[in-house]
A and B are shown apart, each in its own frame.
Chain A
């Protein structure tokens, strides 16, 4: 589908099907989803647990393989990429924020933020400078040397957001980023993400079932039984 690489969509899915094998039973997770997300959008993939929203997020991030259909990220079809090329795509274009276990336990907050830049080959001085700035931006100035175990859940998510943003990826994929946070921390994190979306124009796609998060996003895609039930 040529259109995938030629229109303004940063993410495009066409009839994406994903089925999981659980023993002898085949469980359909995505039943031919098609959608298009434009550059700079702040989108929520809303839906109940098991609806397929996280599966869809993983397909877009190249973390998993789909059975049929196609996903394009910045015009590049993911089905034709091998694991190494998918790792390159994630490194250069996509930032991730997961629900939990976001940080590398043996690295400090600053080193976690610098991790992707280091993989990208950014010079040390520049890495230090950028990581200091972004950690200050997410309210963690003075906590650069702390290990993840020495940070609260909210602080860990801020480090994860800082890491996702610091290399200016085209897309940030967040999977239930507020699931383990209290309402105050959730609100702070969402406000910060919304501000960064406006400032940098980064496309934000958030899988969530939290109404507070859904309200924060400008576009809502409701996923139900592996299909897009609503788009508003």
Chain B
């Protein structure tokens, strides 16, 4: 279209005619786009960190339990053997790690205090790469052998029990025969983790736990981890087909709060994006309407000189497109730079642990989302510009020119 060479420069110059107004509108679009990019990246990083934290802690990507254990996690609900189909799936990709655990309620007592705890009997080697505990010991050491006689306590629990590394304590729990079993253990390690785990979880080796509870080779749960979290649903379904009466649950079923947090975070991002879209649209409509009303005489003149209404419409859409394009591009680039600036992680503080998230989150750019934001803002903005542009194009030239001179 030959007239584009006329309309484009005209649109560009008109954009800078009222520099302050154009810049303010562009600033609003910039802020909206910038916040969409950064909010999206940081909120997702936060919810992602919560998921990773959940999976890393003790949940894994999925678990297998005896029937009834999830409703009443005690020593009566335990697994005696795994079906061969389950064992076969666990040894092949996408499963990368798995381990058995005893996990029952217990009491712990020192010479000064006592406290209810959750006792976890673990396979020390197999927990490597599966959960946080092998790397969480801050004082003392992690279990060095599969049946080491000792106990790991969280920092907060140790403080509450007024005990420390190297001291002895008594662990009590209900055994398989219904009687209370107890055993004296030395504290071999103090670990640091999320507040709930630090306060209520204690770790001994699996053989020690099985011996304490007198359950032979039985265990409470089997935890597995996958190479890719995306496979968790499918893998859980495959395991369930082979598990017979055993109950198989993916991480999002085991931790509905984290799942809800993730969904809420995703929902918040979209609400924010919608609010930003609305702000951009109303800001743009307002700016263009004011500009159109201010320039009515000029539009009358342009039409009197022979400019067709559709060219006028195009000119205003190009003006709007230039404003949107510049602001959107700047917003995207600034947002990308900000997110990239936190490539090494953003420290949220200890408080983040109370919400189930990691203290450090790692925002990442989602190229699909960036494209979506860019294209959507441009389209929504142009759509919002149609009304003022149509208003200008439909103006009868004489109404703005002749009226003043008759």
Interface residues of A (CB under 8 A from B): 49-50, 54-55, 57-58, 61, 63-65, 83-84, 87-88, 90-92, 96, 98-102, 104-107, 115-116, 118-121, 163, 175-176, 179
Q: Report the minimum CB–CB distance from A116 to chain B (whole Å).
A: 6
Contact B17 A115 (CB under 8 A): no
Of B5, B17, B307, B402, the residue contacting A87 (CB under 8 A) is B307
Given contacts A63-B401, A115-B6, A118-B6, contact A102 B301 (CB under 8 A): yes
Contact A176 B10 (CB under 8 A): no
Given contacts A54-B405, A100-B405, contact A91 B306 (CB under 8 A): yes
21 contacts between A and B (CB under 8 A): A58-B398, A63-B401, A63-B402, A65-B396, A84-B309, A87-B303, A87-B308, A87-B309, A88-B308, A92-B306, A96-B305, A98-B301, A101-B297, A106-B17, A107-B13, A118-B6, A119-B307, A121-B2, A163-B305, A175-B402, A175-B405
Name the residue among A61, A63, A99 with the largest chain B CB count within 10 angstroms: A63
Given contacts A63-B398, A104-B10, A105-B298, contact A98 B306 (CB under 8 A): no
Of A54, A84, A105, the residue contacting B402 (CB under 8 A) is A54
> 1/0 per residue B1-33: CB within 8 Å of A?
011011000100110010000000000000000
Given contacts A63-B398, A104-B10, contact A50 B305 (CB under 8 A): no
Q: How far is the CA of A88 from the CA of B303 in the complex (A)?
A: 10
Of A49, A64, A91, A100, the residue contacting B396 (CB under 8 A) is A64
Closest 8 CB pairs of A and B: A91-B306, A64-B398, A106-B13, A63-B398, A54-B406, A118-B6, A90-B306, A99-B405
Tell yes or no: B356 within 8 A of A by CB: no
Q: How far is the CA of A40 from the CA of B14 in the complex (A)?
A: 38
> 1/0 per residue B311-322: CB within 8 Å of A?
000000000000
Contact B309 A107 (CB under 8 A): no
Q: How far is the CA of A96 from the CA of B398 in the complex (A)?
A: 12
Tell yes or no: B160 within 8 A of A by CB: no
Contact B14 A115 (CB under 8 A): no
Tell yes or no: B237 within 8 A of A by CB: no
Tell yes or no: B240 within 8 A of A by CB: no
> 1/0 per residue B132-155: CB within 8 Å of A?
000000000000000000000000
Given contacts A83-B309, A104-B10, contact A119 B303 (CB under 8 A): no
Tell yes or no: B254 within 8 A of A by CB: no
Tell yes or no: B302 within 8 A of A by CB: yes
Extra A-B contacts (19), CB below 8 Å, given A87-B308, A91-B305: A49-B406, A54-B402, A55-B406, A58-B398, A64-B399, A83-B309, A101-B298, A101-B401, A104-B298, A105-B298, A107-B10, A115-B6, A116-B305, A116-B306, A119-B3, A119-B305, A120-B306, A175-B405, A179-B405
The residues of B that contact A87 with a CB separation of less than 8 Å are 303, 306-309
Interface residues of B (CB under 8 A from A): 2-3, 5-6, 10, 13-14, 17, 297-298, 301-310, 396-399, 401-402, 404-406
Q: Report the minimum CB–CB distance from A172 to chain B (whole Å).
A: 12
The residues of A that contact B302 with a CB separation of less than 8 Å are 104
Of B3, B5, B301, B309, the residue contacting A101 (CB under 8 A) is B301
Q: How far is the CA of A54 from the CA of B302 in the complex (A)?
A: 18
Given contacts A87-B309, A104-B298, A106-B10, contact A61 B405 (CB under 8 A): no
The residues of B that contact A58 with a CB separation of less than 8 Å are 398, 401-402
The residues of A that contact B2 with a CB separation of less than 8 Å are 121
Contact A119 B306 (CB under 8 A): yes
Instruction: Give the A-B pair count, Cβ closer than 8 A.
Output: 87
Contact A176 B304 (CB under 8 A): no
Q: Report the minimum CB–CB distance from B390 to chain A (whole Å).
A: 13
The residues of A that contact B5 with a CB separation of less than 8 Å are 118
Contact A106 B6 (CB under 8 A): no
The residues of A that contact B310 with a CB separation of less than 8 Å are 84
The residues of B that contact A102 with a CB separation of less than 8 Å are 301
Contact A98 B405 (CB under 8 A): yes
Q: Report the minimum CB–CB distance from A83 to chain B (whole Å).
A: 6
> Which residue of B is nearest A84, CB measured?
B308
The residues of B that contact A107 with a CB separation of less than 8 Å are 10, 13
Of A88, A104, A105, the residue contacting B306 (CB under 8 A) is A88
> Which residue of A is nearest B17, CB measured?
A106
> Which residue of A is nearest B308, CB measured?
A87
The residues of B that contact A116 with a CB separation of less than 8 Å are 305-306
The residues of A that contact B304 with a CB separation of less than 8 Å are 61, 63, 90, 96, 98
Q: How far is the CA of A176 from the CA of B402 in the complex (A)?
A: 11
The residues of B that contact A101 with a CB separation of less than 8 Å are 297-298, 301, 401
Q: How far is the CA of A61 from the CA of B402 in the complex (A)?
A: 11
Contact A115 B305 (CB under 8 A): yes
Q: How far is the CA of A157 from the CA of B297 in the complex (A)?
A: 17
Q: Report the minimum CB–CB distance from B285 to chain A (whole Å).
A: 22
Q: How far is the CA of A112 from the CA of B304 in the complex (A)?
A: 14
> Which residue of A is nearest B400, CB measured?
A101
Q: How far is the CA of A55 from the CA of B406 in the complex (A)?
A: 7
Q: How far is the CA of A116 from the CA of B304 in the complex (A)?
A: 11
The residues of B that contact A119 with a CB separation of less than 8 Å are 3, 6, 305-307
The residues of A that contact B297 with a CB separation of less than 8 Å are 101
The residues of A that contact B298 with a CB separation of less than 8 Å are 101, 104-105
Of B307, B397, B398, B406, the residue contacting A50 (CB under 8 A) is B406
Of A84, A120, A163, A176, the residue contacting B405 (CB under 8 A) is A176
The residues of B that contact A64 with a CB separation of less than 8 Å are 396-399, 402
Contact B402 A55 (CB under 8 A): yes
Q: How far is the CA of A83 from the CA of B397 in the complex (A)?
A: 10
Q: Report the minimum CB–CB distance from A47 to chain B (whole Å).
A: 11
The residues of B that contact A88 with a CB separation of less than 8 Å are 306, 308
Q: Report the minimum CB–CB distance from B154 to chain A (whole Å).
A: 71
> Which residue of A is nearest B405, CB measured?
A99
Q: Report the minimum CB–CB distance from B306 to chain A (whole Å).
A: 3
